Structure 1
Amino acid sequence: MRNPAPRRRMGWWTAIFGLLLAVPVPASAEPPDTYVDALADAAPAPDLHWTDCDSGFSCATARVPLDYAHPDARSIELSVIKLPASDPAHKIGTLFVNFGGPGRSGVARLRQRAQWPWLFSDALRARFDLVSWDTRGVANSAPVHCFPDATAQQLFFATYPPMPGTPGGEPAFFAAAKTLADACGQRAADLLPHMSTENTVRDLELLRRAVGDDKLTYHGISYGTYVGALYANMFPGRVRGLVLDGSMDFRGNALGADDADADRPVDTRQDVATSLASTFDAMLEACVAAGPECAFSEGDPREKWQRILERVRREPISWDGKRYDYGTVVATAGELSNPAGWPTVAATLQQLYDLRETPYLPTDVLAETAALVRQVADIGTGSAAIPGLPAGLGGTGANTYDDNYTEAFHAVQCADSRVPRDERRYSALAVSEDQRVPVFGRLGVLTAMTCAYWPQTAVRPYSGPWNRKTAPILIINSRNDPATPLAGAAAGAAELADAHLLVVEGAGHSSMYVHSTCSEAAKREYLTAGTLPANGATCPVDGNPFVRTN
């Protein structure tokens, strides 16, 4: 397994000294590009009627065009939430926040995370209204639904095949991915052509105008960095400050560098597998350093990990009512984005190691899963079914369920990215990527398999440009990020006209999960005072996630 990049040890005095060297953002040598997206510019800003919605938050609904090329044809409503600045007398403006995904509710996440001090310090919340929203297609904003009701949705995903760890599991996995794409294509045909991030950026521009800010101040996390990068190029002169946190290779996400690059899935061309492997190694290093406080630390964790893999390659392990086959174990080990969850991953790995010599016995859960499959086939809603789709999933019904994350994720990701559409290409890449990056290689190939079957009319990647002149942009990325590799963040920074990269010397995905007082201070100084960290500055993390603090 590939070793993580060397880590620079830096004490707090070094971190503080680096921030003191920060210099004010200079006036651009060239004025920002005056380009504006004409479709959004022609649309009226929505009227936001804020009402109290508990715990100090205010909520509103924004009406925007579904199709900006035909703004009078149909409108949709976006759910918006605000936490007002705690010091309104010294308020700078609005900080729009996109927490990533795509597919998760920004409204729900702001409620949950607005008080996280490592993400939004008291000083930052004093100066800005925090505003987030459910982006189009998500949760309460014209949600994409691919099933007639919550029961059909839940049964479908309960029986979805696990990520195939070997070629033998691919046919069922491919068939399920196609079934999902077909279901979405039938039930959400009116929405899918309008789910691209270009349209989400147009929505954001209308929201900026609706709150009355002259320019955009924005914190985008993970997928939210893509939203920010597109805004910078669709409205370059309207950027006040953008923080892109847990960032990516923007061109790589959309089209790839060239035709050969486009013939690889998104996570493969972003080289997520290498970053997964390095983050897994970083987790094991932190585990060993924590000693008995990490359940997997005794002995040689890397050797133990290989023993687990050898076992599940032969046959699964039964534990706690679950079936751990090769693909399941690799996926479990790949749950690395949030270091707060590493102790649970380590405890699971230790349990699997302890059970590696036990015979495999099918569990009651497997029987329940088989029963769920039969239930799906028996639902029946009385309408024509999609070929290959279990009866009931293609029927008509009230779209009343709230959590449409998986459907919304694909509606956006598949719209945004050109990917190969031949199953044989994925099978071949799964083999070659596993050879290049043992264990984790195929994860990067198969994570968004549904996009290979997505309706072609709904695939609408942004084609650039990427380097229109803006005010300086701050990019923050962990040294070992399992979702947005540092190399991709550096490539994305180079694609933008004026972006500055701050590296957090730790592992995990974005400052939403990687606690760093230093990086929060750098972000705050940039957003409030217009200063950037010194070139080449790095930040430490706030401790070992396996070590309990009082």
Structure 2
Amino acid sequence: MRSHVPGRPRRSVSIPGPAARRAFAVSLVLAACLTTSPALAATAQAPARDGSAAGLDRYYRQHLGWGSCVKGPADTAGRDLDKAGVQCADLTVPLDYADPAGRTTTVAMSRLKATDTRHRIGSILLNNGGPGGPSVESPPDVRKAMKDVGARYDIIGFDPRFVGRSTPLDCGWPVGVAWFSAGTSRAAFDRQVTLQKSLADKCRAAGASVLPHISTRNTARDMDVIRGALGERKISYLGYSYGTYLGTVYTQMFPGRYDRVVLDGAINPGDYRPRLLKGSERENEKALSDWAAWAAERHDTYGLGRTRAEVLATVDRVVAASARSPLTVGVGADAFRIDDSQVPVLLFTGIGDDADPTRAFLGEQLSVLHMAAEGAAPTTLSPRFAATLRYMLHGGAEPSGVQLAIICGDVAAPHDPQLYWRDIERNRAAHPLFGPLTNNIGPCAFWDRPREEPTQVRRDVSALIVAATGDPRTTYKGSVELHSLLPSSRLVTLEGANRHALFGRYGNTCVDNEVNRYLATGKLPTKDQTCVKQAG
């Protein structure tokens, strides 16, 4: 059941685009300034007595119609949420916070209510990263990660505006990801320029009326409406990856309206930009090298080399072969051609986690690619590998484009393709594999400039920051820098792990205990804490 602001017409925004396609096959991680409108600034800086801003009371005071999470007969995720005791509702928010009487859109929410009501702490809001990551389905997993303290919170998931179960944006992209390598030649880069411009054009055609309103700052405004609609004076927050940037933005825009804040795998806001992974080349090379050592110990399984150096040399040969001519892998309907713009994406995705199952999957993929590079006849792919390639090259069931729409709506990107090419060439000598990936051009180069300036960190926040020293996505350096920007924060460091996002996901008891102790007591550690990777 959709909630609605009483006394106003139902004018939710609908986004034209193709109907939902098949279920997601796999998740691949990414991976002149404008003057802020006074009206937009007022929504964050001029709170009324109930915590809302002038003209927004009807949104903050709206009734949430909590009920079943099932959206239709094929909604198995919704049925699972119902079985877990989760309730769902839709929140109405203004499309444009500078025009609260104008068009609206909906934000999907979920709630797993506290069971220890006698010791209830409040509500905790979740964001899984992305940008564009949904979290409506996350409360049961987070309740489990929070152990005993989870029963003391209402755990609130939400899909940010135009994501997932919220009113969706669909750019109708023919690929599942917009983030590829520039490859090994100028011709490969020029093909990327053409592709990335076409992706931006598709988004502009599909959602021109809403693209200016898709941004982190507007998602933060939606979060504060969630807080108000829940009847909470303050709300706690757990954010992973990009969710740490979103959480930081919320604390800067809405001081005094948050309670306990956990930022896991943090981004330094000064580094947040369309080429978000630029500067992470060394961390990714270290993660790849560690994986190569792991694969070398399993040469009899994968056939990639008996030493770290031999495995890395095999990787280089695979990339070089894919640059000469695309590698054909798989047969029949699951036959794919993979070139030097795509092989690095598979490598990058596979080294984001140092757990054995993730490493084994990358070993499987490189074994297949190696055989193709050596001229072997294609063989049947595993269902998982076929699904990965199908999604990367042809897209999945869910609407496409919102992740880049958020980033492009936050920070302006350089428009000149030659600038990207110069950056790629400067980085190629030191980082031949990942430099052309992290410095490549993307759709934001062909996007309109954002309506607002990026958020600046000017207020201290007593948050708990969690980070792994070998994080190849949001580097440890970024977490340390955010910690320095927030002097009252504390940093929990996990040493020896090449892993992105830790709490409740990596199985490190020390990290999980530190987070849960903070969530239970509201008291940060007296000093920064260090945990070590557990054996096995």
Q: TM-score, normalised by structure 1?
A: 0.75
1:511 aligns with 2:499: no
Map 1:151-166 to 2 at 5 A: 153=173, 156-157=174-175, 163-166=181-184
Distance 1:194 1:322 in 2: 37
- What is the match of residue 77 of structure 2? none
- What is the match of residue 349 of structure 1? 366
Distance 2:168 2:261 in 1: 27
Distance 2:477 2:120 in 1: 36
Q: Secondary structure at the match of 2:409?
A: helix
Is 2:408–2:447's contact at 8 Å kept on the other side of the alignment? Answer: yes
1:89 aligns with 2:79: no
- What is the match of residue 257 of structure 1? none
- What is the match of residue 540 of structure 1? 532
Is 1:64–1:78's contact at 8 Å kept on the other side of the alignment? Answer: yes
Map 1:246-325 to 2 at 5 A: 246-253=265-272, 265-268=275-278, 271-287=279-295, 295=302, 299-314=306-321, 315=324, 316-320=326-330, 321-325=335-339
- What is the match of residue 12 of structure 2? none
Is 2:66–2:88's contact at 8 Å kept on the other side of the alignment? Answer: yes
1:52–1:355 distance in 2 versus 1, CA, 3 Å: closer
Aligned partner letter, 2:247: G
1:337–1:461 distance in 2 versus 1, CA, 3 Å: farther
Distance 1:534 1:159 in 2: 42
Q: Secondary structure at the match of 1:419?
A: coil
Distance 2:179 2:94 in 1: 37
Distance 1:495 1:296 in 2: 47
Q: Bigger shift: 511-520 or 418-427?
A: 511-520
Distance 1:49 1:161 in 2: 38
Map 1:43-54 to 2 at 5 A: 43-44=56-57, 45=60, 46-53=62-69, 54=82
1:439 to 428, 433, 436: 433
Distance 2:219 2:365 in 1: 39
- What is the match of residue 527 of structure 1? 519
C-alpha deviation, 1:431, in angstroms: 1.6
- What is the match of residue 328 of structure 1? 342
1:71 aligns with 2:65: no
C-alpha deviation, 1:413, in angstroms: 0.7
- What is the match of residue 403 of structure 1? 398
1:63–1:311 distance in 2 versus 1, CA, 3 Å: closer
Is 1:99–1:220's contact at 8 Å kept on the other side of the alignment? Answer: yes
Distance 1:87 1:214 in 2: 20
C-alpha deviation, 1:525, in angstroms: 0.8
Is 1:185–1:455's contact at 8 Å kept on the other side of the alignment? Answer: no
1:337 aligns with 2:352: yes
Distance 1:402 1:291 in 2: 35
- What is the match of residue 491 of structure 1? 481
Is 1:517–1:541's contact at 8 Å kept on the other side of the alignment? Answer: no
1:37–1:296 distance in 2 versus 1, CA, 3 Å: farther
1:245 aligns with 2:264: yes
Is 1:93–1:128's contact at 8 Å kept on the other side of the alignment? Answer: yes
Q: Bigger shift: 276-285 or 514-523?
A: 276-285
- What is the match of residue 53 of structure 2? 41
Is 2:263–2:466's contact at 8 Å kept on the other side of the alignment? Answer: yes
Aligned partner letter, 2:64: L
Aligned partner letter, 1:460: E
C-alpha deviation, 1:38, in angstroms: 2.7
Identity value in percent: 27
1:480 aligns with 2:470: yes
1:207–1:326 distance in 2 versus 1, CA, 3 Å: same
1:480–1:71 distance in 2 versus 1, CA, 3 Å: same
Is 2:181–2:438's contact at 8 Å kept on the other side of the alignment? Answer: no
Distance 1:317 1:360 in 2: 11
Is 2:304–2:314's contact at 8 Å kept on the other side of the alignment? Answer: no
Distance 2:343 2:361 in 1: 13
Distance 1:158 1:89 in 2: 46
Deviations, residues 435-489 of structure 1 (Å, cap 9, x unaligned): 232311121112x611111123x4534242x03134x111111111121011111
Aligned partner letter, 2:207: A
Q: Secondary structure at the match of 2:133?
A: coil
Distance 1:132 1:83 in 2: 9
Q: Secondary structure at the match of 1:480?
A: coil
- What is the match of residue 429 of structure 1? 423
C-alpha deviation, 1:308, in angstroms: 3.4
C-alpha deviation, 1:223, in angstroms: 0.9
Is 2:45–2:254's contact at 8 Å kept on the other side of the alignment? Answer: yes
Highest relative contact order (Cα 8 Å, sep 6+), 1 or 2? Answer: 1
Distance 1:159 1:139 in 2: 16
Is 2:318–2:369's contact at 8 Å kept on the other side of the alignment? Answer: no
Is 2:463–2:490's contact at 8 Å kept on the other side of the alignment? Answer: yes
C-alpha deviation, 1:175, in angstroms: 1.1
- What is the match of residue 188 of structure 1? 207
Distance 2:343 2:218 in 1: 38
Note the residue ranges of structure 2 that are not aligned, 5 or more in a row. 1-42, 70-81, 382-389
1:182–1:131 distance in 2 versus 1, CA, 3 Å: same
> How many equivalent residue pairs?
449
Q: Secondary structure at the match of 1:218?
A: strand
The structure where helix makes up a greater share of residues is 1
Q: Secondary structure at the match of 1:327?
A: coil
